[in-house]
Amino acid sequence: MATTNGTVENGQPDRKPPALPRPVRSLEVKFTKIFINNEWHESKSGKKFATYNPSTLEKICEVEEGDKPDVDKAVEAAQAAFQRGSPWRRLDALGRGRLLNQLADLVERDRTVLATLETMDTGKPFLHAFFIDLEGCVKTLRYFAGWADKIQGRTIPTDDNVVCFTRHEPIGVCGAITPWNFPLLMLVWKLAPALCCGNTVVVKPAEQTPLTALYLGSLIKEVGFPPGVVNIVPGFGPTVGAAMSSHPQISKLAFTGSTEVGKLVKEAASRSNLKRVTLELGGKNPCIVCADADLDLAVECAHQGVFFNQGQCCTAASRVFVEEQVYAEFVRRSVEYAKKRPVGDPFDVRTEQGPQIDQKQFDKILDLIESGKKEGAKLECGGSAMEDRGLFIKPTVFSEVTDTMRIAKEEIFGPVQPILKFKNIEEVIKRANSLEYGLTAAVFTKNLDKALKLASALESGTVWINCYNAIYAQAPFGGFKMSGNGRELGEYALAEYTEVKTVTIKLDDKSP
Amino acid sequence: MDASERGRLLDKLADLVERDRAVLATMESLNGGKPFLQAFYVDLQGVIKTLRYYAGWADKIHGMTIPVDGDYFTFTRHEPIGVCGQIIPWNFPLLMFAWKIAPALCCGNTVVIKPAEQTPLSALYMGALIKEAGFPPGVINILPGYGPTAGAAIASHIGIDKIAFTGSTEVGKLIQEAAGRSNLKRVTLELGGKSPNIIFADADLDYAVEQAHQGVFFNQGQCCTAGSRIFVEESIYEEFVRRSVERAKRRIVGSPFDPTTEQGPQIDKKQYNKILELIQSGVAEGAKLECGGKGLGRKGFFIEPTVFSNVTDDMRIAKEEIFGPVQEILRFKTMDEVIERANNSDFGLVAAVFTNDINKALTVSSAMQAGTVWINCYNALNAQSPFGGFKMSGNGREMWQCRTLLCNVVETVSLCRQETVTAQDMTAFCAPQRRAGLSTHQTFLHGNPGPAVSRGEFGLREYSEVKTVTVKIPQKNS
């Protein structure tokens, strides 16, 4: 977080305290159409769909609803932009990097507008959208801008009198299907490496939250990406999403969403043209608190870890394992925290928790809360919706949770913290690893050996030690097992967006 | 400071250079005598691209975790070296400034840089931009002065952990000596060259003539990369000479601020005299003076574009670096012969080959003892690929990520896990620190004098020479 007002003079940061950013009042939504070839199109069918503000339950606006014909048109544009000899293919790699950096500049310029739109469409607190989502977007764009001209193949000393080298080429037309929990950020996580590596892209933003993606389209055009390099088709999973998963001219698909839909995407990808697939799916992430942990730190991290973004994070710390000796105290402090969590209007600066995204999620979360009560967990606080408050749910804490309960096995995606007890390290490792998920894990301990042992034993793509949600553009992120395939962010993301070509040139054995 | 923030500062500096591009180009032209349009389009473009290229690397300097034998967790960190001394030349003052500070700052080092005494102005202007960009005080320090005083002080300074020098081989040797004698500071050197440019009979002749011409005459001949030994295959020799002479006679020499000028003055009297002396030696030793050969006879250090043919390997003009507008054209018969003759030099900076034959191109380029080989192009330098010399043309590589390896110290950290220590020898090894649960076995040289790391994958880099091969192609697609 900024502790200065951001300016630097003569190497010394200016230490005046910053004013909090304010959302844009009465924001007019300008971009609601399908974005193809840097132009705005109506849907072929003429259909539109509405997007709602989950906080007020009011319709924000209507958006063009894409379907298969629109996807076909978008893919055609992306293919044309990828043709050998096209402006995008002829551009120096450094030029691609410059465009990404300039896009970051524009996102920074319009940061308040984008944060306001994101808050309207998702219900997340405005300050979170501004300082977390938008910060991540800018940093990720700049990080991958830097990689563009550093995507290097190898020269390789093989047997025989040949010259052998590899080229790391762009794959081609890449599809990106993005979720509603961090709409813009998840889009940038895919767009940045895809464009950095020279691909062209067709995007389907979540139907609940299409607005920031479409606004980004306007910035992409303003920056000067050639037409067809990025195309955006809003619509629904069974229509647009399915069309993309099966499209024979899409060479790679990146999907972030539920494990259930991830499986469908991968099936369709295989059945059609074996397009390469990366998946970022769900998690039921263990947060292991050892007796020797800094307890206050652990309580706070576990709290934010599960409640952040209304509990709607694939990284949610939704199985908190606490060592026996400190269990009661941990529960006590966690309940205190949960009771204090301010739930309310996302545009209020004091709010930490807004509404859930929609009725479907809301109902699912309450159903799981009921199962917790029925299956014998102890409800410490919360446990129901806020009275007369639409899609708002009270921060809920369950203790005495056991591994067989639904709330200990199923991804809740809501403000519900299940706290379980453990006796020793070997036991907690087995229990933490017992699910088919494997996205993240966290360990709270001061002991070096315990930390390193758990870090190597936990079957998760990310392990946090004495911290939570520490995600950086520079470090790879992704899941073990059914939490996903492949990695986003860091250098590792480049491998997901390039094809390796080996070139072998035979030389004459006799010299002239 | 976050690594990514170092990158932001470098990018910001690039923005400021772009803003003041015309001022810097004017200064470079005034102080160095190079044509203004070349300073603007070549030097300044290189500066901006280099700064932006390294801005991108700042937060991507990765170490690795390594599966060693035994119960250890081992990883490397690539840390900044510390204070880097940098001594830069007068032929591309601002560009060499960027080539040096960009990777050093990218890796988190601090810098003391001495611009050439002939051309200090653009470096000092950069100081103002560096301050404006917001680099913390002390990160970059600029010291104008002379070699025997400021330069020698930097080379011998025990508080300086690394020195990078671009200049003559003669001075490079002094620097490496002083570095060794003082505190074994790491040294990278970009020195001279007497670079072979090999033209086969199947080359596109007009294109080869033009490339060879620019290759030796660019920047008044004052390039370490000057293609100053042009080997032409016998069957096209006469025609090549004829066209080269015709081109040299057309080369426009004049005021750097005249937009039609291709060639300005030499940098100073000392260089001017040295070049004329070498030209005299060419005549005396029996080379055929085809055109030029003397000063222009006007105010300033201008020399006529000069071409020698029938040059043989033993002549001074075929062995010594001239650093002036003098083109030497030699004859060859076979590929094997020309490879041997091209390599027969203590220098090894660059080489070029002009041919359409895939075998000749790849065989000759692999055989050249040179840090960069160009195929069907010349002076194709860019921020993304490594540049540096074999043999006495230098040590180490600039540009590309190679530079980041040389700007970092590799620290290997191994942690011994307490509960897995069972074998006798392991116990003994870990014993002193077992109580703390940690045994560190650190092999690093941060602050310790010593050669660069020679174990693991990094050992490979100490024992291999990196060669960059750049081939001109009709149309690139990503």
* Cα A78 to Cα A250: distance, rounded to the nearest angstrom: 9
In A11-70, the residues whose Cβ lies within 8 Å of chain B are 11-12
SS3 label, residue A207: coil
Categorize the per-residue pLDDT at B75 as very low, low, confident or very high, splitting at 50, 70 and 90.
Answer: confident
SS3 label, residue A381: strand
Q: Check residue A48 and give its pLDDT.
A: 98
The verdict on a CB contact (< 8 Å) between A143 and B4 is: yes
Q: Check residue A15 and give its pLDDT.
A: 66
Q: Render pLDDT for A319-345 as a digit per residue (tens, 0 to 9).
A: 999 999 999 999 999 999 999 999 999
Q: What is the mean pLDDT of residues B359-372?
A: 92
Categorize the per-residue pLDDT at A6 as very low, low, confident or very high, splitting at 50, 70 and 90.
Answer: low
Closest B-chain CA to A85: B477
Categorize the per-residue pLDDT at B136 as very low, low, confident or very high, splitting at 50, 70 and 90.
Answer: very high
Q: Check residue B72 and give its pLDDT.
A: 81
Q: Smallest CA–CA separation between A474 and chain B, in Å?
A: 7
Q: In chain B, which residues have their Cβ closer than 8 Å to the Cβ of A449?
A: 417-419, 437
* Cα A198 to Cα A498: distance, rounded to the nearest angstrom: 9
The verdict on a CB contact (< 8 Å) between B56 and A148 is: yes
Is a pLDDT exceeding 50 seen at residue B450? no
Q: In chain A, which residues have their Cβ closer than 8 Å to the Cβ of B62?
A: 491
Is a pLDDT exceeding 60 seen at residue B66? yes
CA torsion sign for B397, B402, B403, B408 is: negative
Helices H, strands E: what count in chain B?
A: 16, 17
Closest A-chain CA to B364: A511
Q: Render pLDDT for A234-270 as a digit per residue (tens, 0 to 9).
A: 999 999 999 999 999 999 999 999 999 999 999 999 9
Q: Render pLDDT for B11-55 as a digit per residue (tens, 0 to 9).
A: 999 999 999 999 999 999 999 999 999 999 999 999 999 999 999
Q: Render pLDDT for B115-125 as a digit per residue (tens, 0 to 9).
A: 999 999 999 99
**ipTM over 0.90 threshold:** no
* Cα A286 to Cα A322: distance, rounded to the nearest angstrom: 10
Residue of B28, B79, B190, B262 marked active site: B190
Categorize the per-residue pLDDT at A4 as very low, low, confident or very high, splitting at 50, 70 and 90.
Answer: very low
Q: In chain A, which residues have their Cβ closer than 8 Å to the Cβ of B65?
A: none
Q: Render pLDDT for B376-392 as a digit per residue (tens, 0 to 9).
A: 999 988 888 888 888 88
* Nearest alpha carbon to residue A250 among A84, A85, A78: A78
Task: Tell me which of A163, A165, A510 to substitute to probe the interface with B (most B C-beta atoms closer than 10 Å).
Answer: A163
**Whether residue B320 lies in the annotated active site:** no
Q: Are B60 and B106 in contact (CB under 8 A)?
A: no
Q: Check residue B401 and give its pLDDT.
A: 57
The verdict on a CB contact (< 8 Å) between A149 and B53 is: yes
Q: Render pLDDT for A260-305 as a digit per residue (tens, 0 to 9).
A: 999 999 999 999 999 999 999 999 999 999 999 999 999 999 999 9
Closest A-chain CA to B53: A146
* Nearest alpha carbon to residue A255 among A229, A231, A237: A237
The verdict on a CB contact (< 8 Å) between B362 and A149 is: no
* Nearest alpha carbon to residue A298 among A277, A279, A325: A325
Structural domain spans, chain A: 34-281+487-499, 286-473
Q: In chain B, which residues have their Cβ closer than 8 Å to the Cβ of A507?
A: 358-359, 362-363
Categorize the per-residue pLDDT at B297 as very low, low, confident or very high, splitting at 50, 70 and 90.
Answer: confident
Q: What is the mean pLDDT of chain A?
A: 95
Q: In chain A, which residues have their Cβ closer than 8 Å to the Cβ of B366?
A: 163
Q: What is the mean pLDDT of residues A385-411?
A: 95
- Look at domain A34-281+487-499 and name its CATH class: alpha beta
Q: Check residue B143 and give its pLDDT.
A: 97
* Cα B311 to Cα B317: distance, rounded to the nearest angstrom: 8
Three-class HEC string of B328-376: EEEEECCHHHHHHHHHCCCCCCEEEEECCCHHHHHHHHHHCCCCEEEEC
Q: In chain B, which residues have their Cβ closer than 8 Å to the Cβ of A94?
A: 49, 52-53, 383-384
CB hemisphere CA count around B277 (13 angstroms) = 10
Closest B-chain CA to A490: B60
Q: In chain A, which residues have their Cβ closer than 8 Å to the Cβ of B333?
A: none
Q: What is the mean pLDDT of residues A46-69?
A: 97
Q: What is the mean pLDDT of residues A205-214?
A: 98
- Identify the bridge partners of residue B66 per DSSP, sorted by sequence position: B74
Q: Smallest CA–CA separation between B248 and chain A, in Å?
A: 33
Please give the sequence-ordered ranges of beta strands (E in DSSP) within B22-104, or none if there are none: 65-66, 72-80, 83-87
The verdict on a CB contact (< 8 Å) between B137 and A142 is: no
Q: What is the mean pLDDT of residues B195-208?
A: 97
Q: In chain B, which residues have their Cβ closer than 8 Å to the Cβ of A90?
A: 475-478
Q: Check residue A311 and give its pLDDT.
A: 98
Is a pLDDT exceeding 90 seen at residue B408? no
Percentage of the residues of chain A whose pLDDT score is greater than 90: 91
The verdict on a CB contact (< 8 Å) between B4 and A491 is: no
Q: Chain B residues contacting A, CB < 8 Å?
A: 3-4, 7-8, 11, 49, 52-53, 55-60, 62, 73, 131, 134-137, 139, 334-336, 358-360, 362-363, 366, 383-384, 401, 415, 417-419, 437-438, 475-478
Phi and psi, residue A74, nearest 5°: -65, -45
Tokens for A443?
């360990």
In A165-224, the residues whose Cβ lies within 8 Å of chain B are 169-170, 198
Establish if A292 touches chain B: CB-CB under 8 angstroms.
no
Say which of A98, A474, A508 has its CB closest to residue B60.
Answer: A474
Establish if A82 touches chain B: CB-CB under 8 angstroms.
no
Q: Are B331 and B232 in contact (CB under 8 A)?
A: yes
Three-class HEC string of A386-448: CCCCCCCECCEEEECCCCCCHHHCCCCCCCEEEEEEECCHHHHHHHHCCCCCCCEEEEECCCH
The verdict on a CB contact (< 8 Å) between B49 and A94 is: yes
Q: Which residues contact A426 (CB under 8 A, 6 or more apart)?
A: none
Say which of B4, B134, B478 has its CB closest to residue A139.
Answer: B4
* Cα A307 to Cα A330: distance, rounded to the nearest angstrom: 16
The verdict on a CB contact (< 8 Å) between A150 and B475 is: no
Is a pLDDT exceeding 70 seen at residue B412? no
Is a pLDDT exceeding 70 seen at residue B460? no
Establish if A146 touches chain B: CB-CB under 8 angstroms.
yes
Say which of B49, B335, B478 has its CB closest to residue A89.
Answer: B478
Residue with token string 């001074």:
B316
Q: Check residue B456 and give its pLDDT.
A: 56
Q: What is the mean pLDDT of residues A431-458?
A: 95
Closest B-chain CA to A101: B11
Q: Check residue B463 and give its pLDDT.
A: 54
Q: Across the A/B interface, how many CB contacts are shorter than 8 Å?
A: 102
Q: Check residue A188 and give its pLDDT.
A: 98
Inter-CA distances, B364 with A289, A476, B339, B462, Å:
64, 42, 7, 25
Closest A-chain CA to B366: A163
Categorize the per-residue pLDDT at A17 as very low, low, confident or very high, splitting at 50, 70 and 90.
Answer: confident
Q: Smallest CA–CA separation between A432 and chain B, in Å?
A: 22
The verdict on a CB contact (< 8 Å) between B438 and A143 is: no
Q: Check residue A137 and give its pLDDT.
A: 98
Query: Looking at the domain A286-473, which fold is it?
Result: Aldehyde Dehydrogenase; Chain A, domain 2 (3.40.309)
Q: What is the mean pLDDT of residues A341-364?
A: 97
Q: Check residue B381 and give its pLDDT.
A: 87
Among A102-106, A476-480, B345-349, B432-436, whose mean pLDDT is lowest? B432-436
SS3 label, residue A224: coil
Q: What is the mean pLDDT of residues B133-146?
A: 98
Please give the order of strands across the beta sheet that includes B65-66: B65-66, B72-80, B408-416
The verdict on a CB contact (< 8 Å) between B56 and A149 is: yes
- Residues of A recognised as catalytic: 280
Q: Which residues contact B367 (CB under 8 A, 6 or more apart)?
A: B339, B343
The verdict on a CB contact (< 8 Å) between A147 and B56 is: yes
Q: In chain B, which residues have their Cβ closer than 8 Å to the Cβ of A146?
A: 7, 55-60
Q: Render pLDDT for A453-512 as a digit per residue (tens, 0 to 9).
A: 999 999 999 999 999 999 999 999 999 999 999 999 999 999 999 999 999 998 887 543
Q: Check residue B444 and give its pLDDT.
A: 24
Tokens for A182?
């961090």
Q: In chain A, which residues have their Cβ closer than 8 Å to the Cβ of B373?
A: none
The verdict on a CB contact (< 8 Å) between B134 and A139 is: no
Strands A252-256 and A276-280: parallel
